[in-house]
């Protein structure tokens, strides 16, 4: 007797992703049962491209909140399949990962972490602490939610389901987060502004000690950690540039906090 395959919902939150959403949808549209897209006020062709993939794609419109994780939460709440696969518009599911996912959802696990292979300056980063970059992206629908504290949050099992077994897949999700250095810098500033708002709301204000921490301590620690300890140098110039640029984000965070403090 044949049985119906376990159903999977791919869930995404997007904003102005016309250059990337097409390839991402192409990799899942034929084998998932639905794609839930939360669009955060896109002004480009993102919605039109998503609609072109047919009735499997369900599109909802929400505000583009500073913490876009809020729209990710809205996306997984609308999933109707047995399993939820959480994706970003800059991620691609390979054929090998697809096969592994379809095998994984037949098990008794509550969910699975998936490794991500991050790309920077056109090259995959295999060192510098950037791989396997495990993310909790595949889980039984309704078993996980986002804490909504930071733009870097990921979903976690709810209190009701905490303690249930979680597996780990081996095939990576391909991640292309930065189309150019300009995009990288724009995102860095965007995240820095959000993190500065979080610090300010916690009552943290600029000070000599904090200035030293954010302009010397944190950047130096991060560069040594990623480039030397985690051997980012193995990835050549992209590895060096990533370690350097990502360490500088702390400077932007403090500057944004300082600016926020002078405005109020």
| Same domain membership, residue 166 and residue 221 | no
Q: Are residues 81 and 100 in the same domain?
A: yes
When pLDDT is cut at 50, 70 and 90, the band that residue 145 belongs to is very high
Q: Does residue 176 come out as left (phi exceeding 0), alpha (psi in the -120 to 50 range) or beta?
A: beta
- Please tell me the total count of domains within the chain: 2
Say yes or no: 185 and 86 in one domain: no
Task: Give the domain extent around 160.
Answer: 8-175
- Residues 78 and 186 occupy one common structural domain: no
Q: Of the candidates 113, 144, 175, which is a domain's last residue? A: 175
Residue 1 has pLDDT above 60, yes or no: no
> How much is the mean pLDDT over the chain?
94
Q: What is the pLDDT of residue 3?
A: 46
How do residues 40-79 score in pLDDT, each as one tens digit?
Answer: 999 999 999 999 999 999 999 999 887 789 999 999 999 9
Asked if residue 48 and residue 63 are part of one domain, the reply reads yes
* Residue 239, CA atoms < 13 Å, CB-side half-sphere: 21
176-233 per-position pLDDT tens digit: 999 889 989 998 998 899 899 989 999 999 999 999 999 999 999 999 999 999 999 9
Q: How high is the pLDDT of residue 5?
A: 66
**Residue finishing a domain among 153, 175, 197:** 175
User: How large is the C-alpha radius of gyration of the chain?
Assistant: 20
The answer on 103 and 171 residing in a single domain is yes
Residue 37 in domain: yes
User: In 3D, which of 138, 86, 81 has the Cα closest to residue 109?
Assistant: 138
Domain boundary among 145, 175, 205: 175
pLDDT at 2 over 50: no
Q: Is residue 3, in this structure, part of any structural domain at all?
A: no
Q: Are residues 60 and 74 in the same domain?
A: yes
Q: Judge if 168 and 216 occupy the same domain.
A: no
């Amino acid at each position: 007797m044949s049985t119906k395959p376990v159903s999977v919902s791919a869930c995404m939150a997007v904003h102005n992703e016309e250059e990337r959403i097409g390839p991402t949808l192409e990799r899942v549209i034929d084998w998932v049962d639905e794609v839930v897209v939360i669009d955060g006020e896109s002004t480009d062709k993102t919605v039109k491209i998503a609609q072109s993939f047919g009735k499997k794609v369900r599109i909802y419109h929400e505000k583009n909140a500073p913490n876009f994780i809020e729209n990710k939460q809205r996306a997984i709440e609308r999933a109707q399949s047995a399993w939820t696969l959480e994706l970003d518009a800059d991620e691609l599911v390979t054929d090998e990962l697809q096969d592994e996912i379809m095998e994984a959802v037949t098990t008794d696990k509550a969910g699975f972490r998936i490794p991500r292979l991050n790309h920077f300056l056109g090259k995959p980063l295999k060192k510098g602490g950037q791989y396997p970059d495990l993310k909790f992206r595949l889980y039984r629908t309704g078993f996980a939610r986002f804490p909504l504290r930071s733009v870097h949050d990921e979903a976690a099992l709810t209190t009701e389901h905490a303690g249930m077994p979680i597996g780990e897949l081996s095939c990576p999700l391909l991640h292309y987060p930065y189309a150019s250095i300009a995009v990288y810098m724009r995102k860095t500033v965007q995240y820095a502004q959000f993190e500065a708002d979080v610090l300010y709301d916690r009552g943290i204000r600029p000070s000599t000690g904090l200035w030293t921490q954010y302009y010397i301590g944190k950047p130096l620690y991060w560069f040594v950690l990623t480039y030397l300890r985690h051997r980012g140098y193995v990835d050549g110039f992209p590895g060096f540039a990533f370690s350097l640029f990502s360490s500088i984000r702390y400077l932007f965070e403090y500057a944004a906090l300082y600016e926020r403090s002078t405005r109020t």
